[in-house]
Structures are given as C-alpha cells and as structure tokens.
Chains A and B, each alone.
Chain A
Amino acid sequence: SQELEQSPQSLIVQEGKNLTINCTSSKTLYGLYWYKQKYGEGLIFLMMLQKGGEEKSHEKITAKLDEKKQQSSLHITASQPSHAGIYLCGADNAGNMLTFGGGTRLMVKP
C-alpha cells in the first residue's frame, strides 16, 4: 500500500517568513492533493497536482510535484496568522481512495 510521509511534523514561523512543507510517497503519485485542516474542522481543498513537474499557485501558496512524481512540496510566501493550521497531503489511489500523510502543524507567530 502507498505511504505518505510529511516533513516537518510541526513548524513555528514568524509572521512574514517563508516556509516549505514536504510530502514524500513510497510509490509513484498519480494524483496529489493538498488540504488544510483547522482544529476540529473539516479538510479544505487547496490544490491538486497530477503531472510530473507541475506547479500551481493560489494567493501565497505554491505546490509542486517533482518530475519523478514521488515528492511534492507546499511553499507559503510571507506567512500570515491565517495560514496557521494542519496541512495534509493526500495521494489518489485507484477508485479515488485517498491516502493521507500524517500532517504538518503550522503555527505563525504575529
């Protein structure tokens, strides 16, 4: 079965700083999803990547899928307190069954 490892597990940054979260898969990724979760709430869809080398951006968040399709990164530029939460990567297995990583807990200090 596919395993996803996220790093770091937690991150504390000063407001305005850039940061990167990584997601590494044990198998080739055919669809990689990034979600954000606030404590006690549901998962909010951020971005989906499918092609090797693909890069997508939304506001100050950029996600990339490497050429070999086994690693993805999520980069936040000029972090704000509103970026705080848990970031999850999810891999698309057959039948739309997503396997999730363990999450990266981000805190942004004002």
Chain B
Amino acid sequence: EPEVTQTPSHQVTQMGQEVILRCVPISNHLYFYWYRQILGQKVEFLVSFYNNEISEKSEIFDDQFSVERPDGSNFTLKIRSTKLEDSAMYFCASNRGMGSPLHFGNGTRLTVT
C-alpha cells in the first residue's frame, strides 16, 4: 500500500540554524500538509498546500516557516532560524481531496539545542 515517507526520522540542530524536513506524499494525492506535535501536546495543523501554493496556514506558521514542492514528488518544510520551542515531531500528510482522509508519514523528530 502506498505511504507517505519522511526524512530524516530524527534531526538535531542548534538554535538559529536552518533545517529542511522532507516528505514524499502519496503519488496521486493532490493536497499536502504539515502538522506538528510538541511532546505531550496535541497534534497541531501548520499548513496545507495545493496546486503549488499555500491554501491554509495556522498562526504557528509564521515567517520563519516556508514550504515548497521543488519537484514532482517532494514536499519540504523549511524552518529558517530554529528556536528551542520548535522542538517537536513534524508530520507530513497528503490526501486526494476535500473530505478524503489524510494519510500521515511517520514523522521527523526535530530537536533544537
């Protein structure tokens, strides 16, 4: 069964550094998402992406975050200058369209020191 894949599974970075989290959504899906889960807290929506542009974003997704679909298969989340509070599990998800279930990857655990 096709699945969403994320790399790396764990990323450690120093405060102020830039990180790029990578995702390969399911190939026939059209909508792509990033969510995050801070340890012990709820899974939170960051951003949705459709037709090569952001369709929705939350208050968390400020100017230090950006997303890109650099080619036909990858979907990336960039954090420009990481902060300690960015430490979390970041999940990529995709789906075929409105009203269809989101399929999640296994996540990237980001640790900012």
Contact = CB atoms under 8 A, between A and B. Distances in A.
Interface of A: 31, 33, 35, 40-45, 48, 50, 88, 90, 92, 94-103
Nearest to B106: A42
B18 interface: no
Contact of A42 (B42, B45, B98, B105): B105
B98 A96 contact: yes
Interface of B: 4, 31, 33, 35, 42-45, 48, 55-56, 58, 91, 93, 95, 98-99, 101-107, 109
Nearest to B41: A102
Contact of B95 (A35, A90, A96): A96
Counting from the closest, the 7 A-B pairs by CB-CB distance are: A42-B106, A43-B104, A42-B104, A95-B56, A100-B43, A45-B101, A97-B45
B103 A45 contact: yes
B42 A103 contact: yes
Interface majority SS (helix, strand, loop, mixed), chain B: strand
A42 B91 contact: yes
A45 to B, nearest CB: 5
Contacts of A88: 43
A43 B101 contact: no
Nearest to A34: B101
A43 B45 contact: no
Nearest to B93: A43
Contacts of B48: 95-97
27 contacts: A31-B99, A40-B107, A40-B109, A42-B91, A43-B43, A43-B93, A45-B103, A48-B101, A88-B43, A94-B56, A95-B48, A95-B55, A95-B56, A96-B31, A96-B33, A96-B48, A96-B56, A96-B98, A96-B99, A96-B102, A97-B56, A98-B35, A98-B45, A98-B102, A100-B44, A101-B42, A103-B42
A33 B101 contact: yes
B42 A102 contact: yes
